[in-house]
DNA sequence: CTAAATGCAAACAGTTTGCAGCTGC
DNA sequence: GCAGCTGCAAACTGTTTGCATTTAG
């Protein structure tokens, strides 16, 4: 699985910490969550974040997970999307990924972000013509895996963490 | 509020009944639900459907609502979308409306379908390039209402049913 | 010192399900 | 008659909340 570069992780972490320094407080829990979130190479669920964060601090609760995720979404650092089985997932909003589109594979339960920079422009324009000011945008493509269909297996299938 | 033409309602009803004649059974409950669904001028929630259906038959249950909605979605007669406050809504798939995009207004809690026929083509093509076969597609634009901002009121605000 | 953040457990909302009885064919 | 549908109530899942306690600044 692809990993994020140390620089990207570092940069994202700092953005999150900045956000909290301004708007609230920098705490241990938030620092841990920043680090874990910043390192995610793929879209992740609240549950996955909790599991990974608990490897660092066993006591981190769902309450903090959800409150933190909400805060990062509001701050524009994360995008909330609808993943496999209609479960919520989160993707980083980053220099390396700004797209609003993603593919949800029903075969391998994987979420694959897409880049399509002109989509928001085009659709945003249409929305404005209808008298709206667009705030968030998200294109979800539910799809099946061609690789799986042809070869009976798919390299993208997400592994369960040990 | 706009209403659907009797012909459109009739046509949609028949499609639903056809579906059930082939794949299952035509029942009283399903006929009522077909009629109510077919008449919806705007995207609707499971709850709204239930309320309206209960005006015809007081006994209709959530179980039937959800099972019926699921069946209609699977049959390609309805599209499931994420509406205001992340609640699920349903829109008809019809000769009068085939688009995959919709605006969710955070001010008036209204869902406005958009037509953008080339979006599925364009994005479907991109998805295929990545090795996926697209099955469903849905663009959600969360937006605020310009009319409300400027005039302090919005004609689109959904009225509570009596 | 004080306001903000946390963990816990309980509450919550929307949806799904198991089962006994009813209904269409 | 019998498979398939229905309503009911209970179960379920992911998320939110109230509150007593801890912690950052």
- For residues B12 and B51, membership in a common domain is answered with yes
Confidence of residue A161 (pLDDT cuts 50, 70, 90): very low
Domain with B137 in it: what CATH number? 3.30.1490.190
CA distance A135 to A2: 30
Domain end among B85, B106, B136 = B85
Tokens matching residue A73: 């979404």
CB of B148 within 8 Å of any CB in chain A?
no
CB of A153 within 8 Å of any CB in chain B?
no
CA distance B90 to B73: 9
- For residues B40 and B62, membership in a common domain is answered with yes
Better pLDDT: B62 or B2: B62
Nearest residue to A93 via CA among A141, A127, A45, A43: A43
- For residues A47 and A109, membership in a common domain is answered with no
Tell me the pLDDT tens digit for each residue of A89-115.
Answer: 999 999 988 899 999 999 888 999 998
- For residues B105 and B77, membership in a common domain is answered with no
Please tell me the predicted confidence (pLDDT) of residue B151. Answer: 83
Total domain count for chain A?
2
On whether residue B90 sits in a domain, the answer given is: no
Q: Is this model's pTM higher than 0.85 or not?
A: yes
CA distance B157 to B155: 6
- For residues B33 and B76, membership in a common domain is answered with yes
What is the dihedral sign for C-alpha A109, A111, A112, A116?
positive
Confidence of residue B1 (pLDDT cuts 50, 70, 90): low
Q: Are the CB atoms for B64 and B29 separated by under 8 Å? A: yes
Contacts of A142 in chain B (CB under 8 A): 134-137
- Tell me which residue range forms the domain holding A99: 95-151
Cβ contact, residue pair B123, A119, below 8 Å: yes
Tokens matching residue A47: 């549950």
CA distance readout (Å), A29 to A54, A66, A91, B18: 10, 12, 20, 56
Domain with A64 in it: what CATH number? 1.10.10.10
CA distance B44 to B83: 9
Please tell me the predicted confidence (pLDDT) of residue A35. Answer: 98
Q: Are the CB atoms for B116 and B108 separated by under 8 Å? A: no
When CB atoms are compared, the residue of B124, B135, B141 closest to A137 is B141
On whether residue A62 sits in a domain, the answer given is: yes
Tell me the pLDDT tens digit for each residue of B50-63.
Answer: 999 999 999 999 99
Q: Are the CB atoms for A106 and B135 separated by under 8 Å? A: yes
Q: How far is the CA of A127 from the C1' of C11 (A)?
A: 38
- For residues A107 and A38, membership in a common domain is answered with no
């Amino acid at each position: 699985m692809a990993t994020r570069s140390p620089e990207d992780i570092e940069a994202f972490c700092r953005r999150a910490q900045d956000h909290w320094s301004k708007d609230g407080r920098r705490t241990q829990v938030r620092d841990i969550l920043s680090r874990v979130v910043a390192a995610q190479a793929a879209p992740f669920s609240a549950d996955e974040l909790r599991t990974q964060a608990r490897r660092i601090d066993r006591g981190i609760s769902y309450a903090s997970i959800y409150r933190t995720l909400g805060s990062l979404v509001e701050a524009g650092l994360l995008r909330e999307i609808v993943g496999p089985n209609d479960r919520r997932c989160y993707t980083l909003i980053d220099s390396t990924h700004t797209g609003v589109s993603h593919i949800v594979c029903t075969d391998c339960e994987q979420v694959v972000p897409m880049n399509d920079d002109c989509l928001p422009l085009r659709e945003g324009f249409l929305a404005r013509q209808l008298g709206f000011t667009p705030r968030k945008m998200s294109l979800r493509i539910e799809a099946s895996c061609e690789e799986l269909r042809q070869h009976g297996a798919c390299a993208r299938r997400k592994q369960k963490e040990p």
